[in-house]
Amino acid sequence: MSVCSIEDIAENTTAPFWFQLYVMRDRDFINRLIDRAKAAKCSALVLTMDLQILGQRHKDIKNGLSTPPKFTPYSIWQMMQHPLWCARMLGTKRHTFRNIVGHVGRVHDLASLSAWTASQFDPTLNWADVKWIKERFGGPVIVKGVLDADDAQAAIDNGADAIVVSNHGGRQLDGAPSTIRVLPEIVDKVGHKTEVYLDSGIRMGQDVIKALAYGAKATFIGRPMLYGLGAGGEAGVTRVLEIIRKELDTTMALCGERDILNVGLHNIYSNDMPPRNAPKARI
């Protein structure tokens, strides 16, 4: 779900980029989407496995988030206070979800898009889907949304090339464990066969170093990037990355580490984690 299409991204970057795929009931559409990702030379597909149904998002219910946006007295008041922002938004080229609109017969605008999407998440999603998606795409498939070591194993048995330990930023199952909590058992189970990444809750450089110490190969951010974007546009996103990088650098220095590849379990103090002289994490 994004305002930029796969093709928009391919046109505007020379860097390798990934495409995140939800499996929807309309398999013809999904097949076409995978083919488009392939044609646009996406270097990997990220298959989200934790949104076979939409979670109960209490904040969204409370704040009335909807597509298309509803105009309430409060939102109109906010827009009146930010006329320049509104003018800039109206001047942008992309006002809809361009991977879908124009590619599905029944979807012409935001209202029909919203109804279509809500009816499309596929509760029958299962591990066998990893296999056919990988076959169709023909490149690396990264399975996102894993919180359990046996699930990580199942993903790999069905062809996943890497795993993202994720609880969807806490937006799906309220009460699901934190990703840093489950990372060690997942790395233990599959870290010697595949790359394990982590997201959900990364807010500062220290969070990154903890995940790397427990064996993640990389971490991703969701909301911090959006906060930067909201506050300062493109420069704001760059600033967020700079802040996290600086915090990571400072933390490494204070831990006595000069090379990120040397970060490991010996950097962690914890009562319920392996002892400090345990072998270094596989990073």
Amino acid at 75: S
5 binds ligand FMN (CB under 6 A): no
Site for ligand FMN in 14-73 (CB under 6 A): 20, 48
Closest CB to ligand FMN among 114 and 262?
A: 114
Query: Could you say whether residue 200 binds ligand FMN (CB under 6 A)?
Result: yes
Segment contacting ligand FMN by CB under 6 A, of 54-62, 190-198, 199-207, 256-264? 199-207
Q: Does 199 bind ligand FMN (CB under 6 A)?
A: yes
> Scanning residues 89 to 148, which ones bind ligand FMN (CB under 6 A)?
144
Considering beta carbons, is residue 156 or 202 the nearer one to ligand FMN? 202
Neighbours of 271 (CB within 10 A): 4
3-state secondary structure the chain: CCCCCHHHHHHHCCCCCEEEECCECCHHHHHHHHHHHHHCCCCEEEEECCCCCCCCCHHHHHHCCCCCCCCCHHHHHHHHHCHHHHHHHHCCCCCCCCCCCCCCCCCCCHHHHHHHHHCCECCCCCCHHHHHHHHHHCCCEEEEEECCHHHHHHHHHCCCCEEEECCHHHCCCCCCCCHHHHHHHHHHHHCCCCEEEECCCCCCHHHHHHHHHCCCCEECCCHHHHHHHHHHHHHHHHHHHHHHHHHHHHHHHHCCCCCHHHCCHHHCCCCCCCCCCCCCCCC
Q: Pick the stretch among 86-94, 147-155, 196-204, 227-235 that binds ligand FMN (CB under 6 A).
A: 196-204
Exactly one of 30, 37, 151, 201 binds ligand FMN (CB under 6 A); that residue is 201
Total residues at the site for ligand FMN (CB under 6 A)?
14
Asked if 262 interacts with ligand FMN (CB under 6 A), we say: no
Binding ligand FMN (rule: CB under 6 A), the pick from 221, 237, 248, 268 is: 221
Which residue lies nearest ligand FMN, judged by its C-beta? Answer: 222
Among 168, 189, 210, 217, contact with ligand FMN (rule: CB under 6 A):
168
Beta carbon of residue 243, minimum distance to ligand FMN (angstroms, whole number): 14
Cα 179 to Cα 167: distance, rounded to the nearest angstrom? 7
Question: CA 6, CA 282: separation in Å to the nearest integer?
Answer: 33
Does residue 166 bind ligand FMN (CB under 6 A)? yes
Told to check if 1 binds ligand FMN by CB under 6 A, we report yes
Amino acid occupying residue 14: T
Q: Output the six-digit token pair for 127.
A: 């591990």
Per CB under 6 A, the segment of 35-43, 101-109, 149-157, 165-173 that binds ligand FMN is 165-173
Give the amino acid at 9: I
Whether 82 is catalytic is: no
The catalytic residue among 58, 82, 95, 168 is: 168
Establish if 189 lies at the interface with ligand FMN (CB under 6 A). no
Residue 20 CB, shortest distance to ligand FMN, in Å, is 5
Q: Which residues bind ligand FMN (CB under 6 A)?
A: 1, 20, 48, 144, 166, 168-169, 199-202, 221-223
Active site residues: 168
